[in-house]
Structure 1
Amino acid sequence: MKDALHQLLNNCIENGSKEELHALAYLLEGFQKKIDKKYSQYIDGLLHMERKIDKEKKTCEITVPLNAVWNNSLDMVHGGVTATLLDTVMGTVINAILPEGFGAVTNQLNIHYIAPGIGDSLHCKAEIIHHGSKTVVISGEAFRSDGKKIAHATGTFFIIQK
């Protein structure tokens, strides 16, 4: 496995353009942070997420730097990346307030894309609207670095026993 990985990595380094090498370095830096236990999940490391959870206010905020890795063919953040960030920020706040032995999983996610995801970073925030015994309803918003809202989401999450 290590030999194949070395060969793949060396091939990428030898043949990659400057932009491709920058993207590879970005991904590897995030992966290294996961290895170093700075992140608990791979997606956190790959996206270089910074989280801020306020359990008392039942809110969460996530900021990620933008990189060409996440862009679509129009050179803006792919909508699926924005959806992943919104799903993550909403799920994080719910899971942070649930009692030990319980977790929440996405049941429904509705996203309204408003503006292109461009700039230096994306900042997402989520707030719980309703917390029932079996489901939680939550809203989330994504903003680009100039403060323009790029997406608004609502979601329903099932509460499950781990």
Structure 2
Amino acid sequence: MRNNLQQLWENFLETSTSEEQELFIQFMEGLNRKKMRINDSYISSFLQLDQILKPNELEMTFPITPLTLNALDIVHGGITATVLDTVMGTYAFHLIPEDKAAVTSEMHIHFLAKGEGETVTAKATCIHKGNTRLVMEGKAFRDDGTLMGHATATFHIIPRV
């Protein structure tokens, strides 16, 4: 395994573009964020999600990088959907007992504007909290304040294993 990694690394250094090297740095920084427990998941680590818990809201921000862009050089809709699911799900965890977990059972999303600029901020609030499910709302904003995505999702509350 180590020899294979060494060979891949040497080939990468010889053939990669500066953009690919920047992406590699972002990937390695993501691994470090996960290792240091800055983020709970690899996807949150690679996206460099930073979060702020506020009264009645959770906010997550990520930088727009080549990793987050589609072929049109705007934020990929799948990235926006992933971040909205992540911010709503993470906030759901803050609202339930520690012996419970919340899993997405359905999600609706409307893409309202293209993702561009330097950062995207996603915010989650709770619309309904019951004993077996939560209904959450998420909004994604460009750094100029434009609403680029709106989502609602239902999270099923299950025992934590």
TM-score exceeds 0.5: yes
Is contact 1:58–1:93 with CA below 8 Å preserved after alignment? no
Which residue is 2:36 aligned to? 36
Which residue is 1:88 aligned to? 86
SS at match of 1:76: coil
Q: Out of 128, 131, 139, which is 1:141 matched to? A: 139
- C-alpha separation in 2, matches of 1:161 and 1:59: 24
Q: Which moved more, 1:6-15 or 1:108-117?
A: 6-15
- C-alpha separation in 1, matches of 2:9 and 2:116: 29
Is contact 1:48–1:64 with CA below 8 Å preserved after alignment? yes
Give the structure-2-normalised TM-score.
0.94
Instruction: Tell me if 1:26 matches 2:45.
Output: no
Counterpart amino acid of residue 29 in structure 1: E
Q: Once the two structures are superposed, what CA deviation does each residue of 1:103-128 show, in whole Å capped at 9, x if it has no partner?
A: 00001110000011111011000000
- C-alpha separation in 1, matches of 2:93 and 2:85: 12
Over aligned residue pairs, what C-alpha RMSD do you find?
1.2
Query: What's the offset of the Cα at 1:23?
Result: 1.4
Q: Alignment length, in residue pairs?
A: 160
Is contact 1:58–1:97 with CA below 8 Å preserved after alignment? no
Counterpart amino acid of residue 124 in structure 2: A
- C-alpha separation in 2, matches of 1:160 and 1:145: 35
Instruction: Give unpaired runs (5+ residues) of structure 1.
Output: none
Query: What's the offset of the Cα at 1:43?
Result: 1.6
List 4+ stretches of structure 1 deviating above 3 A: none
Counterpart amino acid of residue 106 in structure 1: T
Is contact 1:109–1:155 with CA below 8 Å preserved after alignment? yes
Instruction: Give unpaired runs (5+ residues) of structure 2.
Output: none
Q: Once the two structures are superposed, what CA deviation does each residue of 1:76-127 show, in whole Å capped at 9, x if it has no partner?
A: 1110000000000000111012102100000111000001111101100000
- C-alpha separation in 2, matches of 1:131 and 1:5: 48
Which residue is 1:13 aligned to? 13
- C-alpha separation in 1, matches of 2:19 and 2:157: 42
Q: Out of 78, 99, 103, which is 1:105 matched to? A: 103
Is contact 1:60–1:126 with CA below 8 Å preserved after alignment? yes
SS at match of 1:108: strand
Is contact 1:106–1:155 with CA below 8 Å preserved after alignment? yes
Query: What's the offset of the Cα at 1:3?
Result: 2.3
